[in-house]
Amino acid sequence: MGKIKNFSFGIIILIFGFWILNFCGCAPKTTSKITTTITIWHWMTDREATFQELAKRYKTKTGIQVNFDLYAPSDAYSQKVRAAAQGENLPDIFGLLGEKRDFASFIKAGHILDLTPYMEENNSCWKNSFFEKALAVNEFSEGNSYGIKAGIYGVPIDVMTIQMLYNKDLFSDLGLNPHKPPMTFAEFLNIAKMISAAGGSASGGKAANMQGLVSGWGEVWMIDCLANNYAFNIMGEDKVLATIKGEVPYTDSDWITVLSLFAQMRDSGLLSNGIITMVNKTAEQLFATGKAVFAFNGSWCVNVYKGMNPKLNYAAMLPPKVSDKYPMRIWGGAGSSFMVNARSKNKAEAVKFLKWLTDRDQQAYLAEATNNLPANKDSLSKIPNILAQFADDMELTTHPNIWGVSEFPAVIEALDKGIQSIILGEKTAQQVASEVQKIKERELAKKVNRNS
């Protein structure tokens, strides 16, 4: 009998312990009546320190406490935001990762404040301080296909572009002029052949096992990016958008040309099989340590390469063009953006903070501290040379989030996976094109059925 008593006693202790735990957890219920607090959720580990510094400065200036909460990596952050959205527990300010259609859904669900009135007051003073392209990603235009009322819903805090980079020292080693990157696709392939010839020898030294182009093509979106860039170059923006709308099939000869570019890159030795097993960080590591001649990466890489190899001698270049008919376009625009929670109790203060954050001085500080391009037009003064090269090509940027139409995810996935197959040598451009088109037609039919 005593044993039962002991046991029940033990259970009671356990339950009591749990109960105490519960109260350990509670935050003090007294919200500070003196200082307003703004909570911001973000995923940018690299900028956490800089953000904390900016929060300190803002507090000194206005007395308002700003809490930056970091949740990394970005995948986990995304899930947290979506869970909090379901629980209607979003913070005052947060960033949104993902496609434009997700952005649209958040707006429709009432989570995001329409910032247009704030942007346009005082003669659009705030609006005009940004690069046009940076704002475009956060904007929904008149008559957009997402059904969102036209306006600006987010604030960019930096911009980025995705371009090609080349290693100047390796260029010299190959006997090429380090100040003249390849301008045309044909030149690009020629250099590739030179790299293969030099790297074929297992004699060691710098040339052994040198890679042509490295990029994180294990992460399929980067493949999508380059394919899209070349699509714009070969058939022009209108035809690309028409394809997305379903008016032009993927089996069109222009698209087959785009797809066959990857086969050509593979055959010339520019790409190795291994490129599909790389995440972007692996590709960055290879380029930083001088094992690859070219890289396809975004302007954030400046910070990465600096950390791994400050002596890296490299420069940016546009993807070498295939055709002269249409301009080569690159992806770019807002890097990261913040949105205001429409249900927040501190809306006005939140907007004020974002205005301060994107002001000239703060943007300059942010850009300098984290080696990223500022979103504010006037803050370009202190960025390093290499970053300026990325900024130079801003007018050529485009981005899926500004086209006003979205391709079906199943189609994008089929396209990217198909290109991976082409690089592996398993499928031809024609095969991939017809497979993608089949899926496109299926999705279109589904959409029609859904709407009827």
Instruction: List binders of other proteins among 266-285 (CB under 8 A).
Output: 272-274, 276-279, 281-282, 285
Residue number, 35 or 45, with CB nearest to other proteins: 45
Does position 83 interact with other proteins (CB under 8 A)? The reply is yes
Backbone angles phi, psi at 371, to 5 degrees: 55, 45
For β-strands 37-42 and 65-70, DSSP reports them as parallel
**Binds other proteins by CB under 8 A, chosen from 57, 62, 65, 80:** 80
**Binds other proteins by CB under 8 A, chosen from 53, 57, 99, 352:** 99
Copy the structure tokens of residue 282. Answer: 């692996």
Q: How far is CA 12 from CA 4, 19, 22, in A?
A: 12, 10, 15
The footprint of other proteins on residues 331-370 (CB under 8 A) is none
Q: Which stretch binds other proteins (CB under 8 A): 81-89, 179-187, 228-236, 384-392?
A: 81-89
What is the 8-class DSSP label of residue 396? G
Q: Which stretch binds other proteins (CB under 8 A): 58-66, 78-86, 326-334, 346-354?
A: 78-86
What does the per-residue mask of binding to other proteins show for 3-22, with x meaning CB under 8 A?
xx--x------x---x--xx
Residue number, 183 or 424, with CB nearest to other proteins: 424
Angstrom distance (rounded) from CA 120 to CA 341: 19
> What is the identity of the amino acid at 37?
T
Angstrom distance (rounded) from CA 14 to CA 366: 50
Q: What is the DSSP string of 84-143?
A: HHHTT---SEE---S-HHHHHHHHHTT-B---HHHHHHHHHHHHHTB-HHHHHTTEE-TT
CB of 417 to other proteins, least distance (A): 5
CB of 47 to other proteins, least distance (A): 8
**Binds other proteins by CB under 8 A, chosen from 52, 57, 65, 102:** 102
CB of 222 to other proteins, least distance (A): 11
Closest CA to 307 of 291, 336, 285, 290: 285
Task: Collapse the DSSP code of 149 into the 3-class scheme (helix H, G, I; strand E, B; otherwise coil) and give the result.
Answer: coil
Residue number, 170 or 234, with CB nearest to other proteins: 170
Angstrom distance (rounded) from CA 123 to CA 111: 27
**Binds other proteins by CB under 8 A, chosen from 12, 13, 16, 86:** 86
Residue number, 103 or 166, with CB nearest to other proteins: 103
Q: Which stretch binds other proteins (CB under 8 A): 128-136, 192-200, 246-254, 408-416?
A: 408-416
Does position 431 interact with other proteins (CB under 8 A)? The reply is no
Residue number, 57 or 417, with CB nearest to other proteins: 417
Residue number, 141 or 273, with CB nearest to other proteins: 273
CB of 363 to other proteins, least distance (A): 19
Does position 144 interact with other proteins (CB under 8 A)? The reply is no
The footprint of other proteins on residues 157-216 (CB under 8 A) is 209, 211, 216
Q: How many residues bind other proteins (CB under 8 A)?
A: 81
Angstrom distance (rounded) from CA 346 to CA 65: 12
End-to-end CA distance of the chain: 72
b (16+ CB within 10 A) / e for 182-199: beebeebbebbebbeebb
